[in-house]
Amino acid sequence: MKTTKLPLIAASIAFVAAFSNKSFAQENPVTFGIKGGASLSSFGGDLKDTKSAVRYRLGLTTDIALTNNLFVFTGLDFQTKGAKYASKGGSEAKYNPIYAQIPLSIGYKVDLAPNTKFVVHAGGYAAYGIAGKIKNDPNNDKRSVFGKDGFKRLDYGLLGGVGVEFGKIAVSAGYEYGLANINNAGPKISNRNPYLTIGYKF
């Protein structure tokens, strides 16, 4: 009788040990936060004579714990992208599309010191254009950046970054590499966005 109970006892001990190792998930499996920052936005693709432009972003963050160190990062960002264009003939244009964007990445957190963690993550994003203008100089002519003669609203691509968490404060730097051709007519254009953000986790 005692012999037949040994496998059951061993299985019970293994289950309790595994459950204990994952107990963190019940304590704080999901963390929400806010973030804001800036990017040095530019265009990739076939459009020449473009220059980078400073753009801004604001968002909500969600960290989902898979293990003590492995996380899924997502949320909702509102950000401006775009660039400046200056033709050889002297005309200039400023592109200022505004997107609602959902990032999704896998990240790893490493303890550097008490209440200090190094974070690295990689994944992708999907974005939808919600507003924005093209401003043409010198006539100061403005029109919507989205439409059949402008940009497509859908954007998607890859992203990656590194950061440091100081308790509830998170500082992050990263890069978004657009894969979509966002231009409806003319040369291929895709978004490029190195960025820097600071956030707070609740």
Query: Model-level pTM?
Result: 0.83
CATH top class, domain 28-201: mainly beta
pLDDT, tens only, 100-137: 999 999 999 999 999 999 999 999 999 999 999 999 87
DSSP per-residue string spanning the chain: -HHHHHHHHHHHHHHHHHHHHTTHHHHSSEEEEEEEEEEEEEEEES--SEE-EEEEEEEEEEEEESSSSEEEEEEEEEEE---EEE-TTS-EEEEEEEEEEEEEEEEEEEEEETTEEEEEEEEEEEEEEEEEEEEEETTTEEEESBSTTSB-SEEEEEEEEEEEEETTEEEEEEEEEE-S--BSSSS-EEEEEEEEEEEEE-
- 80-89 per-position pLDDT tens digit: 999 998 877 6
